[in-house]
Amino acid sequence: MSNREVVVLSVGGVRFVTRASTLQQFPESRLARMLNGDDQQFKVVNGEFFVDRDGTLFSYIMDFLRTLQVSLPTDFSDYQRLQREAEFYGLYHLADVLSQEHLLKPRPEILEVRFSLQEMQAFFRIFGSCSTTVETLADQITVFTGQQSGQCWNSPFSSQKPLVPLPLERPSHHDVFFQCGTDCSAGDQFVARYVSIKPDDRKLINGTNVLGLLLDTLFKDGFHLVSTRTVSSEEKVECYSLERMKRPAGLTVTVNQTPGSSRVAQAKKSPVQKGK
């Protein structure tokens, strides 16, 4: 059996097709020994290896053998059962990583949007527990300014009048501040600030519209609204608290050869691509 290139396993009735070299990633494991016919737990039926174990959990074990990375769904909860399966197959490196359950569980990411309306202007301040998220959001938001004639709160952007982009205020890595609306200058001249939020290409001046677009952008990015409260009734400051489950960095098991011993594995964090 050891010279097979393609191996078929039936685990609890779930069929898996893989390469022999994948199962031999850890020579001391039962899956590697199975190919030599040295383990009676694995029966050969019609040319397929059969084992009476959980087929659903085995899919995560196969993913680990193929990538040497532990990356589980955000709603995964069977850490102890998967650790038990890893121990059954003799994959003790995987079992050790699974024992570090706190590193694998997704954690909530908090974002807070403060919104204030003052006459013809609106002010926004965004706080986030993850600086990378705030940085990404700041890259999506552009504020444009320019002097306009006879403009009012609901006036649309006139493409015939040039606007100048303004840098956003970044008090820290975890927050960003910007404003929109009009401010009376001289005569019928107004200093206007428009806000654009990618991928939407509109330039909005109305604070309520900007708030709606901002929240819609965050909802599409996986956040959900947790609560809404009034921070200051006098200054008309509203606070929107949002949350999403942030997937942790994947744990990669690096396998090295050491003289006079079997393989040694160490777990380290590695980035997980966005989009899961």
Per-residue pLDDT at 248 = 56
pLDDT of residue 257: 41
How many other β-carbons are positioned within 10 Å of the β-carbon of residue 227? 10
Which tokens is 67 given?
Answer: 């990538």
The pLDDT score that the predictor gives to residue 81 is: 93
Task: Render each residue's pLDDT in the chain as its tens digit; 276 residues.
Answer: 445 689 999 999 999 999 999 999 899 999 998 988 777 788 888 889 999 999 999 999 999 999 888 888 877 888 899 999 999 999 998 998 888 877 677 778 999 999 998 888 999 999 999 898 999 999 999 999 887 655 454 555 454 567 889 889 999 999 999 999 987 655 566 788 999 999 998 999 999 999 999 999 999 998 999 999 998 767 789 999 999 877 655 556 655 444 333 343 444 554 444 433
pLDDT for 108 equals 85
Task: Determine contact, residues 182/148, Cβ cutoff 8 Å.
Answer: yes
Answer for the pair 192, 207: CB distance below 8 angstroms, yes or no.
no
What pLDDT is stored for residue 249 in this prediction?
56
pLDDT digits (tens, 9 = 90+) for 196-239: 999 998 999 999 999 999 999 999 998 999 999 998 767 789 99
For residue 213, which phi and psi values (nearest 5 degrees)? Answer: -65, -40
**Can you give 248-276 as a three-state secondary structure string?**
CCEEEEEEECCCCCCCEEEEEEECCCCCC
